[in-house]
Structure 1
Amino acid sequence: MFTESEFILIVGAGPTGLTLAGELQRRAVPFRIVERSTEPFTGSRGKGLQPRTQEVLDDLGLLDRFRAAGSDYPELLIHLPGGQEMRRRMDPLHEATPQVPYPNMLMVPQWRTCALLAEGVPVELGVGVTDLEQLERGVRVTLSTSEVVVARYVVGADGGQSTVRKLLGVPFEGETHETERMVIADVRLTGLDRDNWHIWPGDDATSFRLGLCPLPGTEDFQLTAPPSDLSVEELVASVDPSIKVTHVGWTSHFRANIRMVSRYRVGDVFLAGDAAHVHSPAGGQGLNTGIQDAYNLGWKLAVGEDELLDTYESERLPIAAGVLGISTRLHRAHVDGDEDAMSRTDPVLRQLSLSYRGGPLAAEHRAAPGRVRAGDRAPDSPCGDTTIFDLLRGPHATLLAFSWSGDLPAASEKLAVHRISDEAALAAYDISSPTLVLVRPDNYLGCATTDSSGISAYMPRVLGQDR
């Protein structure tokens, strides 16, 4: 696929770009990753990692480090006008199950997410992109250092103000609500416990005045509040004079920006993460969707065949559109002062149900498939003395041969193959008869069939014609 001198250029070293770099690195695909900022990101910004993203991190071998650095979301302690208090959870804590081992959102400040993803990744800081030119094969890129390089592929993961997207001329369609703004800051303070996420409503008891959320593994709280003429110190003192702000760090002025592209690929250039879609932070979807963009794209870039690369847009664009819809709905609930505006009980938010059913890589050949079908996330399950996730972990595609006693498909040596008869695994996959399931490298079901020839025909679509 790649000649000796070819490489992939990743533009932007946020969570999306760093996840993609890790995906390429473990496949020994040559790449460079550049970041126009001269320092790593320092703010807490997107602090929630959804259950599906934790499964991605598990596959990458990073989840233990993230879980050590993070925590479950704390209970909300709402300080009502008049001195009363009310407690509630945004989403009740869920018990882990054999199929869903990581059922709850994990709180990790974004700067730490970036630092963990960046371990061992050679990020070139202070290097941006100033020009792109598509070639017959590859892209000529001018860097801000005046270096000119030719990359086989370029991935713009450079945020909502993406230079790559602008150079491509791809419209960023949607709307910006200039009057709907929020101040976000990382602060240190005294006089407030770290066991709760503290919320102060306005005097009407329905509008939002101030939030202070303790950030795990740090001394910081993430402050959120509507814009005001007050300083951070004055704002905090206005709700409780006993709380003293001792330090104000990263600060951002958020405005409601709801936009996405209509194209994820232009020639040999791809868009991912905030460069392709920006959301309200309500529901904790944006960072997670970007990480999963990279997880979808990485193995396809490693194969490097056009037909497979085209499936990146056809699979991820509808997902982004759906995420934009649900995060916008939650944002409107905040703006309108809905009583349940802080509720996050919708299971869709956990991103475990996101599916590529009906997409170009979903080959469901069974006459009567069960509830788990081609295009769906591969569930976990005990499997003898191991688990399905243990079998899937790594950059490979996997063939799960459920109750299969016959010959395996031709060329199955190109896959990790496991014969499975464990009743718990059969139940998790809702399989009652001999079945072959090819799980893609990003751990979605690609092909499900009762005929081994179906797997043989499908394999070149995800492994490449010459593999």
Structure 2
Amino acid sequence: MNSFDTDVLIVGAGPTGLTLANELARHDISFKIIDSAITTSQTTKALGIMPRTLELYEKTGIAEEMVEKGLDTPAFNVMNKDHKLIYFDFNKQCNSPFPFVLMLPQNKTEEILYNYLMKQNYDVEWETKLLEIEQDANGTTVIVQKGIEKTANIRTKYIVGCDGAHSTVRHQLGLNFEGVTIQQNFSLVDLKVEWKLPYNESYAFVDRGKFIAFFPMKDGKHRILMTSDIGAKEHSEVSIEEIEQMIHAVGPTNTSVSSVLWTSRFLVNQRMVKQARLGRVFLAGDAAHIHSPVGAQGMNTGIQDAYNLSWKLALVLKNYSPDTLLDTYTTEREPVWGNLLSGTERFTRILLQKSRLVNQVRKTIAPVITSSRFINQKFIDALSQTGIHYRHSPIVNGEEYGSKVFNKGNWLQPGDRVPDEIIGNGQRLHHLLTTTKHVLFVFTQDYETFKKIKENVESYPIQVFQIGIERDCAIQQNYLCDSKGQIYSKYGFASKEGMLVIRPDGYIGFKCVELNINLLKKHLQIIFN
């Protein structure tokens, strides 16, 4: 059976599924997206959007709308009563066009993503439930239920399960969701807070196993995350009295709360799959990994799963690349999930320590450790997700291809995220990366050399630019002027010559500090047929 209804079936229309759908639409790949719900989420759920996520959304032009509808919070404070333990200043230390955590409720995020999808002439098939998956050598057949009784078959080449922590796709594949449940009850509350602290900063207060964090929203309300003695199974609303007792126990002082809008109780699960691909079926977002909400990493990680997988699916479906390229989705993303789970679990357990001695040590040591700019930077890189890299990936290449001049030092490496830079007349580097293609930057002043390299890669789906330091060459097509040598310096091109290949998800795929066409083509042959 080689007749297909669509190339890709996306199961789940939350932030991960909608992001994947929008990216496949940009790549001109046919797909269907289904969800058992009647429409997008109507509750706030996940709140924080990280700088790296906004950088990726800037490719589609929706980051601006998100920033307009959200509240940017440039600082995060960890407190013990009124004593400051840790201060993270994103505005000063996050190297991104978006140096803040954007507070935008998930229902607003989904609304923006859904509207953008419809502008691309696609829609979600709502009230459609996945029942069964059957794979064969050429594709998959899915049985879905539409409405109450009607069932239908969908024939597709690939399936991506973005259907949440209780994923039907994962259960159909029989994959284990390995991990632990932290035996501590937590509560989420949206409400009004009155205090004298800055409104546009986030605060977490911790003391002897009790924890409460405040995240501001644009509508004048706050999201509260706190520990609780009341279990999730009791299904009771979080009361004002319960919140006031927690504030009295851990801080802040001179604070009042009112007007509760939404509450939720839960236990923290730390779980992930070890295999995100089985045949022609993939898992992404909460279907593949769930963890503590501390750090607001979950939704952002799922969105970046979608960006990693979408360009690979597009290349394979357009016959530019072999199916084995899709194996690198798990190779690249699984270490990210593993580090995230271990990090959030470790930090959550530290917060929940009830020992008086541990709390005193934490109160004394934490300000000293995080006052180190190096350590503070590491935390911000992790929280903002700008520090995520794929240096371990088999499809990124650099000095192992024989470039003896290549020296790691502090320079950007193959597999690293490409930071934004200003080029020549004020043009931003990230604006050159909005294409769905790979981008090749050739660092040379010699136009004939550039032309020869460009001719050698014309058969590949790649945009090619020349970067030089002389302004009088700026009239040449595809020439970018780095007159101050900032980009040359950042990438370690001391010889003033080199090449960079940037992937569609904004990571360095190849770096070479010489203009060696054979090395470049050797890398491209790993990605492309």
The corresponding residue for 1:182 is 186
User: 1:76 & 1:446 partners in 2: Cα distance?
Assistant: 36
Q: Which moved more, 1:271-280 or 1:453-462?
A: 453-462
Structure 1 residues 77 and 437, CA gap change in structure 2 (3 angstroms): closer
Q: C-alpha offsets along residues 93-145 of structure 1, whole Å, 9 cap, x if unaligned?
A: 33378x63333332222222222222232122222211110022111111122
User: 1:279 & 1:40 partners in 2: Cα distance?
Assistant: 23
Is residue 54 from structure 1 mapped to residue 43 from structure 2 by the alignment? Answer: no
Structure 1 residues 211 and 317, CA gap change in structure 2 (3 angstroms): closer
User: 1:210 & 1:321 partners in 2: Cα distance?
Assistant: 26
Counterpart of 1:226 in 2: which secondary structure? strand
Q: Which moved more, 1:13-22 or 1:39-48?
A: 39-48
The corresponding residue for 1:458 is 523
Residue identity matched to 1:54: L
Counterpart of 2:166 in 1: which secondary structure? coil
The answer to whether the 8 Å contact 1:383/1:420 transfers is: no
Counterpart of 1:65 in 2: which secondary structure? helix
The answer to whether the 8 Å contact 2:4/2:155 transfers is: no
Alignment of 1:220-239 (within 5 A): 220-228=221-229, 231-238=238-245, 239=247
Residue identity matched to 2:462: L
The corresponding residue for 2:453 is 408
Is residue 368 from structure 1 mapped to residue 405 from structure 2 by the alignment? Answer: yes
User: 1:231 & 1:363 partners in 2: Cα distance?
Assistant: 52
Counterpart of 1:123 in 2: which secondary structure? coil
TM-score by structure 2 length?
0.78
Counterpart of 1:94 in 2: which secondary structure? helix
Q: C-alpha offsets along residues 379-437 of structure 1, whole Å, 9 cap, x if unaligned?
A: 22122121221111221110000125212151336311110021111122221231111
Counterpart of 1:7 in 2: which secondary structure? strand
The corresponding residue for 1:248 is 261
User: 1:43 & 1:89 partners in 2: Cα distance?
Assistant: 31
The corresponding residue for 1:425 is 487
The answer to whether the 8 Å contact 2:47/2:106 transfers is: yes
The corresponding residue for 2:479 is none
Counterpart of 2:58 in 1: which secondary structure? helix
User: 2:302 & 2:79 partners in 1: Cα distance?
Assistant: 31
Q: Post-superposition shift, 1:70?
A: 2.7
User: 2:131 & 2:440 partners in 1: Cα distance?
Assistant: 44
User: 1:392 & 1:221 partners in 2: Cα distance?
Assistant: 35
Q: C-alpha offsets along residues 12-52 of structure 1, whole Å, 9 cap, x if unaligned?
A: 11111111111101111111111222232133333222222
Q: C-alpha offsets along residues 200-236 of structure 1, whole Å, 9 cap, x if unaligned?
A: 66xxx54426444321x22432122323458423224
The answer to whether the 8 Å contact 2:11/2:162 transfers is: yes
The answer to whether the 8 Å contact 1:398/1:416 transfers is: yes
User: 2:397 & 2:135 partners in 1: Cα distance?
Assistant: 33
Alignment of 1:379-394 (within 5 A): 379-385=419-425, 386-394=427-435
Residue identity matched to 2:412: V
Considering only CA atoms, is the larger Rg found in Structure 1 or Structure 2?
Answer: 2
Structure 1 residues 244 and 312, CA gap change in structure 2 (3 angstroms): closer
Q: Post-superposition shift, 1:448?
A: 1.8
Q: As a proportion of its length, which structure holds more helix?
A: 2
The corresponding residue for 1:92 is 89
Counterpart of 1:115 in 2: which secondary structure? helix
User: 1:171 & 1:349 partners in 2: Cα distance?
Assistant: 28
Structure 1 residues 390 and 86, CA gap change in structure 2 (3 angstroms): same
User: 2:220 & 2:39 partners in 1: Cα distance?
Assistant: 21
Alignment of 1:33-48 (within 5 A): 33-48=33-48
User: 1:74 & 1:382 partners in 2: Cα distance?
Assistant: 25
The corresponding residue for 1:377 is 417
User: 2:141 & 2:342 partners in 1: Cα distance?
Assistant: 36
Q: Post-superposition shift, 1:262?
A: 0.9
Q: C-alpha offsets along residues 259-312 of structure 1, whole Å, 9 cap, x if unaligned?
A: 111101001000111111111111222212111111100000111231111111
Q: Post-superposition shift, 1:11?
A: 0.8
User: 1:382 & 1:193 partners in 2: Cα distance?
Assistant: 35
Residue identity matched to 1:420: I
User: 2:255 & 2:428 partners in 1: Cα distance?
Assistant: 51
The answer to whether the 8 Å contact 1:192/1:243 transfers is: no
Residue identity matched to 2:419: P
Alignment of 1:3-152 (within 5 A): 5-68=5-68, 69-72=70-73, 76=77, 80=81, 85-86=82-83, 90-95=87-92, 100-121=96-117, 122-145=123-146, 146-152=151-157
| Unaligned segments of structure 2, at least 5 residues | 118-122, 231-236, 249-253, 317-321, 469-481
Give the percent of matched residue pairs that are identical in Structure 1 and Structure 2: 29
Structure 1 residues 389 and 231, CA gap change in structure 2 (3 angstroms): closer
The answer to whether the 8 Å contact 2:391/2:415 transfers is: yes
Residue identity matched to 2:152: E
Structure 1 residues 296 and 448, CA gap change in structure 2 (3 angstroms): same
User: 2:25 & 2:75 partners in 1: Cα distance?
Assistant: 35
User: 1:381 & 1:242 partners in 2: Cα distance?
Assistant: 42
Counterpart of 2:269 in 1: which secondary structure? strand
Structure 1 residues 391 and 96, CA gap change in structure 2 (3 angstroms): farther
TM-score by structure 1 length?
0.88
User: 1:273 & 1:74 partners in 2: Cα distance?
Assistant: 26
| Unaligned segments of structure 1, at least 5 residues | none
The corresponding residue for 1:445 is 508
User: 1:49 & 1:199 partners in 2: Cα distance?
Assistant: 18
Counterpart of 2:55 in 1: which secondary structure? helix
The answer to whether the 8 Å contact 2:75/2:89 transfers is: no
Q: Which moved more, 1:275-284 or 1:265-274?
A: 275-284
Aligned residues: 452
Q: Post-superposition shift, 1:244?
A: 5.6
Q: Which moved more, 1:337-346 or 1:39-48?
A: 337-346
User: 1:252 & 1:96 partners in 2: Cα distance?
Assistant: 33
Counterpart of 1:419 in 2: which secondary structure? strand
The answer to whether the 8 Å contact 2:285/2:301 transfers is: yes
Counterpart of 1:144 in 2: which secondary structure? strand
